[in-house]
């Protein structure tokens, strides 16, 4: 494999222009970390270019190998159904491997803490601060279990408490909304409460998280183009191409 496969970052898309701007900023950071790697961006909905359009363009240019990387934090419906369906319609000349989603990863926990510290906390605040791990939400059991595991793992790093919360209504996991999780941490006796959005880019559900954080002391920013997130993208890319490279002795 003389030429490295193209990395195609697949984002959901949003009517909120902040979403696409954040995705593009993250992709630019990935490019800066891996000069020479071709990185393209495609959206499932709302924004252009579409995933299908990017794949058509790559095939027309003569590209052969593509790693399709879902810009998702958990393996839920989009990773299991939507993206595979789009990739099945790709031009036949393309060899496409779908990389794993970004989470879970220790680097993402580091990025969450980076955002909390940027919002005003310090490492000395950990033991007295309760954190709401606020994600968009999912009905997928695998995704729900991952969020619960992340909250437990993060709590063991020294926070007063960590409560998972879903922005979407009617969580089958029984997770509270952000506002209720803030109240739970207050009742638990945490000296301060912080909300850490476990989301990649601004949009409708992150705005709902922000409204639910009105009673918290600290609201962190979305993960966005944090350097740790960019490093996770490259880790997932490398893991996807490694078997093919090993088979060719590269």
pLDDT tens digits, one per residue of 158-183? 999 999 999 975 555 678 999 999 99
Examine the pLDDT at 64 and tell me if it is beyond 90.
Answer: yes
Paired with 6 in beta bridges are 66
Question: Is residue 162 within 8 Å of residue 114, measured between CB atoms?
Answer: no
Residue 1, pLDDT score: 45
Distances (CA, A) of 223 to 62, 107, 113: 35, 11, 10
pLDDT (tens digit, 9 = 90+) per residue, 102-137? 999 999 999 999 999 999 999 999 999 999 999 998
Residue 56: which residues within 8 A CB-CB, separation 6 or more? Answer: 91
Q: Report how far apart the first and last C-alpha atoms of the chain are (Å, whole number).
A: 7
Segment 95-104 mean pLDDT = 97
Element (H or E) spanning 218, and its range?
A: strand 218-219
Q: How far apart are CA 75 and CA 91, in angstroms?
A: 25
Q: Coil, helix or strand for 50?
A: strand
Q: What phi and psi, each to the nearest 5 degrees, are found at residue 162?
A: -135, 125
Residue 139, pLDDT score: 86
Q: What phi and psi, each to the nearest 5 degrees, are found at residue 243?
A: -60, -40
Examine the pLDDT at 150 and tell me if it is beyond 70.
Answer: yes
What pLDDT band is residue 248 in, cutting at 50, 70 and 90? low
Segment 45-68 mean pLDDT = 98
């Amino acid at each position: 494999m003389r030429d490295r496969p193209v990395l195609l970052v697949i984002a959901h898309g949003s009517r909120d222009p902040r979403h696409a701007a954040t995705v593009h900023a993250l992709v630019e950071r990935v490019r800066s970390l891996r000069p020479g790697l071709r990185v393209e961006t495609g959206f499932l909905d709302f924004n252009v270019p579409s995933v299908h359009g990017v794949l058509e363009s790559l095939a027309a240019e003569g590209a052969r190998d593509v790693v399709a990387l879902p810009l998702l934090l958990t393996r839920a419906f989009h990773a299991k159904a939507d993206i595979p369906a789009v990739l099945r319609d790709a031009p036949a000349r393309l060899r496409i491997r779908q990389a794993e989603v970004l989470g879970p990863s220790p680097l993402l926990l580091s990025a969450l803490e980076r955002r909390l510290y940027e919002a005003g906390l310090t490492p000395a605040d950990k033991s007295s601060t309760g954190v709401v791990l606020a994600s968009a939400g999912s009905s997928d059991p695998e995704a729900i279990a991952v969020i619960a595991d992340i909250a437990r793992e993060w709590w063991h790093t020294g926070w007063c408490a960590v409560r998972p919360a879903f922005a979407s209504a009617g969580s089958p996991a029984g997770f509270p909304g952000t506002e209720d999780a803030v109240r739970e941490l207050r009742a638990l006796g945490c000296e301060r409460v912080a909300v850490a959005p476990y989301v990649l880019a601004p949009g409708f559900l992150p705005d709902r998280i922000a409204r639910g954080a009105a009673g918290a002391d600290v609201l962190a920013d979305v993960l966005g183009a944090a350097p740790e997130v960019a490093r996770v993208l490259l880790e997932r890319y490398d893991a996807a191409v490694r078997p093919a490279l090993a088979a060719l002795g590269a």
